[in-house]
Structure 1
Amino acid sequence: MTLAWDPTTPPPVGPMSMTGPMWMPTRSPTFGRMIAWHPQPIPLLPALAVGLLAAYLVGTAVLHRRGVRWPVHRTVWWVAGVATLLAVTGTGVDGYGMELFSVHMVQHMVLNMLTPVLLVLGAPITLLLRALPSAGAAGRVRRGLLRLMHSRFLTALTHPMVTFVLFITSLYGLYFTPVFDWLMSTWWGHNLMLVHFLVVGFLYFWSLLGVDPNPRLSRRGPRSLPSPMVSVMEIGATAPFHAFFGVAVMMSTTLLVRFYAHPMPGWGVSALADQASGGGIAWAFTEIPTLLVLGALLATWQRSDERRNRAAERRWKRGEDTDLERYNAYLQALARADQERA
């Protein structure tokens, strides 16, 4: 892909000058420049963010026309997730992320650990299944989606061990190997890496939170949720790896990636110090999504308990309290056993 330089913008200095003619920020980063809109040759991820928001709102509008109530908090979560996606891919964060390792690490953490959590809490699969009619072409799409949900491929892909490996490989397999420099050598590679962060994070939290239908829940039953202890253990399992990665990057006396070896002249940025800042961001950021996930799991389990209690109360009012019947039968069995021994 050949792109022309803006004649008013000086060419980039450093590693990106080897990747071809792409727009890059040349002035030192400030808060205003970081949140300003960032022109791109092809705004791939910003367009994805807008598309995700539009599709979700169309789905809620379809349900509204049918008189089906969609929880407002689900829409709020989804909008927040799209906003975080747009904030790190459509603003100056994206541009400065190609010049500074610390800014890139902000992108990585948000796309891999924050945006996916917010999107999963929006329950997009549930919305899609409810919005799609069961007849016609849309019905075929719906049935195809359900078949995919029960496919061996997706079952294997969402296995806790697979998602765990993918999640951790996004750190160690990327920054401690030449893969990062290779991907960052092209604009397409850079965007592919960002999409990878988002997809891997979504797969991980999708199967972990149990908000939407997924193969993991299908194996456990139609109304089941992941075991609370298992979910907490899965979250806790990734925390030491993230912490160790952040500390290793902060303490490193050599540059892990060559791409950021030459910061823009005049910015007063040391590549090694900037790398240490990126490690600190990776280490500190882990707590934010962890607390968010734990809070979401707690709320989900509480709602599940409330639903079970309401169902039990309705059965009791109808005289169908099976738990009480089983308990009474157990007491009667004990009484009969005592009489036989006597």
Structure 2
Amino acid sequence: MDHSGHGMTMDLPPFTLGRGLQWSTDPFFLVGCVLALALYGWGVLRLVRRGDRWPVGRTISFTIGVLSILLVMCTRLNDYGMVMFSVHMVQHMVISMLSPILLLLGAPITLTLRALPVAKRGHKGPREVLLMFLHSRYLKVITHPAFTIPLFIASLYGLYFTPIFDFLMGSRIGHLSMMVHFLAVGLVFFWPIMGVDPGPHRPGYVMRMLELFAGMPFHAFFGIALMMASGPMIGPYQNPPASLGIDPLADQTAAGGIAWAFSEVPSVLVLIALLFQWYASDQRQARRSDRAADRDGDKELAAYNAYLASLNARSR
């Protein structure tokens, strides 16, 4: 396999965390991450200037989510990920399972809808176009669990265990497309489950938990399959550079362990987020019910007082 198309050398020194975290820019992801942070900051600033509030926690979550993408795509981790399956699996798990959760908790769509101006009557601006997209049939399809769960599973088995992975790893464009795909799959999978933003598919909280647990076990099974294999299974990683001094089977076993262990991380994060959202929703519903009861009670009291006044008037 020719790694020169990806702009990196085959003669990499043995991997250490310090070397992995050294800066190594991928222009596409660098520009995308900087643009995402700039647009998000513009939206928050716009709300603050007009006197609205935006939760600090959402800003922190979105920022960490973007930085996590920078971490795996704009450092030497990306270089080592081309020749070490274990490092590649760290990239995959972060960009498909951790980064999407953090980005979604930042509620970027809600921020966009609040920051963009409302178009004049009879006209369609960016805000109106976004609302049309949110209510489109296309989005209903790609966020439905009948689509997202099989896509989430196919991104593992249908990619790594077929020649598609070999083909994508053969060029920079292919590798870039694969990483963008991982991020997109993570976003459409987790959005209906725990996203703060409005969406066309938003079932009850119990159903969301079932959707989560329907997809997560397949990550564990995938990891176990790699760990139990008697030989290297993934073509591009069967002959690592001699300078790395690694055994391909041991590296594959490590990759399987990462896939198996990492499946627990998003499950815990999403469950915590769901429980908080469920609790907040119940609190809002309770406050609405209390306000409705107070209004009804006031009406009944007023009616009773009017009745007593009418009786008093008659007695006079």
TM-score, structure 1 normalization = 0.83
Quick one: percent identity of the two aligned structures?
48
Asked if structure 2 preserves the Cα contact closer than 8 Å seen for 1:209 and 1:231, the reply is yes
Q: 2:161 aligns with which of 176, 181, 187?
A: 176
Asked if structure 1 preserves the Cα contact closer than 8 Å seen for 2:152 and 2:185, the reply is yes
Structure-2 separation of matches of 1:235 and 1:154: 19
**What residue identity is the alignment partner of 2:167?**
W
Are residues 1:121 and 2:105 paired? yes
**What residue identity is the alignment partner of 2:20?**
M
The CA deviation string for residues 233-274 of structure 1, in whole angstroms up to 9 with x for no partner, is 111111221111100011112322211122121322011110
The count of aligned residue pairs is 298
- Give 3-state SS (helix, strand or coil) of 1:16's partner: coil
Q: 1:138 to 1:273 in 2, by over 3 A?
A: farther
**What residue identity is the alignment partner of 1:145?**
L
Q: 2:70 aligns with which of 86, 106, 110?
A: 86
**What residue identity is the alignment partner of 2:29?**
L
Structure-2 separation of matches of 1:169 and 1:195: 15
Structure-2 separation of matches of 1:159 and 1:22: 38
* 1:142 equivalent in structure 2: 127
Asked if structure 1 preserves the Cα contact closer than 8 Å seen for 2:192 and 2:208, the reply is no
**What residue identity is the alignment partner of 2:217?**
P
How far apart are residue 23 of structure 1 and its match?
2.0
How far apart are residue 56 of structure 1 and its match?
0.5
Are residues 1:36 and 2:13 paired? no
**What residue identity is the alignment partner of 1:26?**
L
Are residues 1:258 and 2:242 paired? no
Q: 1:49 to 1:21 in 2, by over 3 A?
A: closer
Q: 1:113 to 1:320 in 2, by over 3 A?
A: farther
How far apart are residue 321 of structure 1 and its match?
9.5
How far apart are residue 33 of structure 1 and its match?
0.8
* 2:267 equivalent in structure 1: 290
How far apart are residue 314 of structure 1 and its match?
1.5
**What residue identity is the alignment partner of 2:23?**
W
- Give 3-state SS (helix, strand or coil) of 2:201's partner: helix
Structure 2's unaligned 5+ residue stretches are: 301-316
**What residue identity is the alignment partner of 1:271?**
P
The CA deviation string for residues 202-248 of structure 1, in whole angstroms up to 9 with x for no partner, is 0111111141111114xxxxxxxx31211111111112211111000
* 2:179 equivalent in structure 1: 194
Are residues 1:249 and 2:233 paired? no
Q: 2:284 aligns with which of 307, 311, 316?
A: 307
* 1:54 equivalent in structure 2: 38
**What residue identity is the alignment partner of 2:13?**
R
Q: 1:212 to 1:321 in 2, by over 3 A?
A: farther
Structure-2 separation of matches of 1:229 and 1:316: 28
**What residue identity is the alignment partner of 1:284?**
A
Structure-2 separation of matches of 1:55 and 1:29: 35
* 1:222 equivalent in structure 2: none
Q: 1:191 to 1:177 in 2, by over 3 A?
A: same
Structure-2 separation of matches of 1:139 and 1:118: 31
How far apart are residue 279 of structure 1 and its match?
0.5
Structure 1's unaligned 5+ residue stretches are: 1-14, 218-225, 325-342
- Give 3-state SS (helix, strand or coil) of 1:28's partner: coil
* 2:312 equivalent in structure 1: none
Structure-2 separation of matches of 1:121 and 1:39: 26
* 1:213 equivalent in structure 2: 198
Asked if structure 2 preserves the Cα contact closer than 8 Å seen for 1:59 and 1:128, the reply is yes
The CA deviation string for residues 126-173 of structure 1, in whole angstroms up to 9 with x for no partner, is 000000000269951111111111111111111111011111111001
Structure-2 separation of matches of 1:216 and 1:201: 16
Structure-1 separation of matches of 2:43 and 2:92: 29
Q: 1:138 to 1:249 in 2, by over 3 A?
A: farther
Are residues 1:238 and 2:215 paired? yes
